[in-house]
Amino acid sequence: MNEIFNIKKVEYEGPTSKNPFAFKYYDPEKVIAGKKMKDHLRFSMAYWHTLCADGTDMFGVGTINKSFGKQEVMEIYKQKVYAAFELMSKLGIEYFCFHDKDIAPEGDSLDEFQSNLDVIVPIIKEQMKKYGIKLLWGTANCFSNPRYMHGASTSCAADSFAYAAAQVKKALEITVELGGTGYVFWGGREGYETLLNTNMGLENDNYARFLKMAVEYGRKIGFKGDFYIEPKPKEPTKHQYDFDTATVLAFLRKYGLEKDFKMNIEANHATLAGHTFEHELYLATINNAFGSVDANQGDCQLGWDTDQFPTNVYETTLAMYRIIKAGGFTNGGLNFDAKARRGSNTYDDLFLSHIAGMDAFALGLINACKLIEDGRLDKFVNERYASYNTGIGADIVSGKATLESLAEYAHTLKGDLIPESGKQEYLESILNSVIFG
Ligand code: XUL
Ligand code: CO
């Protein structure tokens, strides 16, 4: 079979290399903190951006053709599979993620969509075997088609709910067939545009009903991986119910779903919610809800989900710091839910953008391990809370203290009781000194 991309396998050449098609920091087999870099990072390609997005935006048509030399629609989708696996194997990416609609055309009916999927899935399976590439997670696109204009499982229309159920059922079956270790729910339009037309209580209840059915069916057909919810505060809807990790945790707990779901944290969604990427990761880890990551970055001058490839090393460092401290990935990984800019419109850019993201996360991993080994941040934090290790603090932590005992104790205190400096700037300078050596 002829190659689609005229590019050689991308290798690690080290930081002094000027070869654009080489890794400068990502050395997949190198062992760091007891594990190969590739096993810490578990990079994944997002099928929708890399094989489908053609640069179309609100103001203009596509700038890159992703039919990969084919004309007939099913032939195009088959060719996308070959392009995907050639690209992943040349980049050394061992995982991928997809929506049902990314891998096969919807056609004119649900039957047609599903029979198209049945043609493509065996080709994907055969390519996975050929290249040793695995499925990180699958999902269903229940937000693009106009039938989902008011949402899917939170739609006012029960028929939309039912149609989404059929899509999720099939997407779960495909995920199991391909041995996927995760299944994602990103609430595309599960939210509202105006409360004037919205029954928020019913929409939330129905969303929980839908998730429960999906978990039941997934487990019934042998899905052993993790279910994830991917929080996002807005876009496409004005308000999305899965606003951020805290909101999703509260929702899951209300409906008794907290044991079934973990978070798929996306960097750009975190910043849209007014948080840092690190905040969302940290919150998920302390709630035993850390699952997987959609690795990208936003632009702080823009208020939308730009899905840029991650190149900000401070962000990747702090993200990897939280991930490594929490024990690293189990079923999850770093999925590049990212697209090269509309103006980066060549096949070369598909590679260069992934290389940039992979190197940025490799640097993040290296820096995170250095920060942990350096130990000054951990030591500072431990000392900062030392008052809870003994005396009244230990009584608070152990549950021995009551409001009365604390009040009695407080009356014995003398002086202004000003706590010690938080030394933020000093800690930021530690970060710089560890990153830059
Ligand atoms: C949209 C987004 C999705 C999910 C999967 O913002 O992040 O691509 O990752 O549906
Ligand atoms: Co995403």
DSSP letters along 108-159, please?
A: TSHHHHHHHHHHHHHHHHHHHHHHT-EEEEEE---SSSGGGTT-STT-S-HH
Which pLDDT value is given to residue 416? 95
Query: How far is CA 296 from its chain centroid?
Result: 8
Per-residue model confidence as pLDDT tens digits over 168-207: 999 999 999 999 999 999 999 999 999 999 999 999 999 9
Instruction: Return the ligand 1 atom nearest residue 266 CA.
Output: 7
- Write down the pLDDT at residue 363: 98
pLDDT band at 402; cut points 50, 70, 90: very high
Summarize pLDDT for 100-144 with one digit per residue, the tens. Answer: 999 999 999 999 999 999 999 999 999 999 999 999 999 999 999
pLDDT grade for 225, boundaries at 50, 70 and 90: very high
Mark the residues whose beta carbon lies below 5 A from ion ligand 2: 266, 294, 337
Please name the residue whose Cα sits nearest to atom 6 of ligand 1: 305
Residue pair 306/343 in contact (Cβ under 8 Å)? The answer is no
Question: Which tokens go with 345?
Answer: 């419109």
Candidate of 184, 186, 269 to mutate for ligand 1, largest count of ligand atoms within 8 Å of Cβ: 186
Here the tokens at position 427 are 């800690």
pLDDT of 2 reads: 86
The model carries a pTM of 0.98
Q: How close is the Cα of 340 to the center of ligand 1, in Å?
A: 16
User: What percent of the chain shows pLDDT beyond 70?
Assistant: 100
- CA-based nearest residue to 320, from 346, 285, 271, 348: 285
Tens digit of each residue's pLDDT (9 = 90 or more) over 251-307: 999 999 999 999 999 999 999 999 999 999 999 999 999 999 999 999 999 999 999
CB 361 within 8 A of CB 312: no
Give the binding-site residues of ligand 1, using a 6 Å CB cut-off.
99, 139, 184, 186, 230, 232, 266, 294, 305, 337
CA distance 185 to 416: 51
